[in-house]
Amino acid sequence: MPGIVVPFGDDVSAVPLNANEVSVLKTDMLVAQTDVPKGMTLFQAGRKAIVMNVSDFAAKGVAPRAALVSLGLPHSLKSSDLEDIARGLNAGAREYGTYIVGGDTGEACDLVVAVNLFGVSAKTGMMLRTGVHVGDVLAVTGLFGKPAAGLKIIKGGCEATLDVRKSLLNSVCNPVARLQEGLALRGSGAVSGSIDSSDGLAWCLHELSAQSGVGFLVSVLPVAEEVAGFAEQNQLDASELVLYGGEEYELVVTVDPKRWAKAEAAAAAAGGKLLPIGKATRGRRVLLEVGGKRRVIEARGYEHFKGC
């Protein structure tokens, strides 16, 4: 499409509306075999399908105005199952201030929930993957690794205390999109680049690196407390869970260091937080330096658990 505002391959697409505004569009499809782990209810699956999409809007700093849903439904579903999915979809939409205004249903071999979000944004100021500058502070809106650890519990073979287990499973079944943080961060004018972390932290960093032509040096691994304990108890590498997990919906942003205080204050005012974890560097390498040791963060992404 000529005159495109958001580069192809960013978290959302945008279509010019007038001189100052664009319509923002996103679609992401939830498929039961890969996106609905054992133990997740259909209500939760419906809600998750919304969260997955809202998170991409959050990363760009755009509020969703309306959602459409295409449902592919297997024969085996009962009408009460469909009601559960619909309630979950609606709950997710209302949670993020939007409405489901239409959609379509059809038959499919597996449950498929394709959500489409629509929003309107000023043409300028959207937080893209392409805006990172060398020297920018790398920051995240929360700690990582809980969904990856939770999925290990679901697959079996790992141990956890009751409290930790509950927290990790909750992160899988009830993910949260950082919409308020994203809107506030954009409003602060301090953010140069942004992406959502649904494909895993390592993958995000490589995406920002490729799109902006910079490298990253991560000096603080943002490990969730429960994940540190869980990794130790099960003799797992916590950094694996943090870097190469996925299905988590934090924002990974870069901030002009002179405006760091503004960005941090904006996230806090939105009820969230912004944690510095490193900086953008020259070159294209994505490195981790903890305890004086440097190692490469690989360009591995989150691999969907296969259930088919």
Q: Are 53 and 25 in contact (CB under 8 A)?
A: no
Distance CA 29, CA 114 (A): 4
Q: Dmax over Cα atoms in the chain, in whole Å?
A: 58
Kindly report the backbone phi and psi dihedral angles of residue 122, in degrees, each rounded to the nearest multiple of 5, phi listed first.
Answer: -60, 145
260 binds a second copy (CB under 8 A): no
Distance CA 46, CA 159 (A): 29
28 binds a second copy (CB under 8 A): yes
Residue count, binding to a second copy (CB under 8 A)? 44
With CB under 8 A as the contact rule, the residue among 110, 228, 234, 273 that binds a second copy is 110
What does the DSSP 8-state code read for residue 129?
T
Based on CB atoms, which residue is closest to a second copy, 22 or 201? 22
With CB under 8 A as the contact rule, the residue among 41, 70, 170, 219 that binds a second copy is 70
One-letter amino acid identity for 77?
A: L
With CB under 8 A as the contact rule, the residue among 86, 95, 103, 210 that binds a second copy is 103
With CB under 8 A as the contact rule, the residue among 77, 118, 130, 165 that binds a second copy is 118
177 binds a second copy (CB under 8 A): no
255 binds a second copy (CB under 8 A): no
Based on CB atoms, which residue is closest to a second copy, 93 or 137? 93
Based on CB atoms, which residue is closest to a second copy, 23 or 41? 23
102 binds a second copy (CB under 8 A): yes
Secondary structure of 230-246 in HEC code, one letter for each residue: HHHHCCCCHHHHHHCCC
CA atoms within 13 A on the CB side of 238: 17
13 binds a second copy (CB under 8 A): yes
Q: Which contiguous run of DSSP H or E holds residue 148?
A: helix 146-155
Kindly report the backbone phi and psi dihedral angles of residue 218, in degrees, each rounded to the nearest multiple of 5, phi listed first.
Answer: -95, 120
User: Can you give the binding site for a second copy, defined by CB under 8 A?
Assistant: 1, 4, 8, 12-15, 17, 23, 25-29, 31, 33-35, 65-66, 68-72, 75, 99, 101-104, 106-110, 112, 114, 116, 118, 120, 304, 306, 308
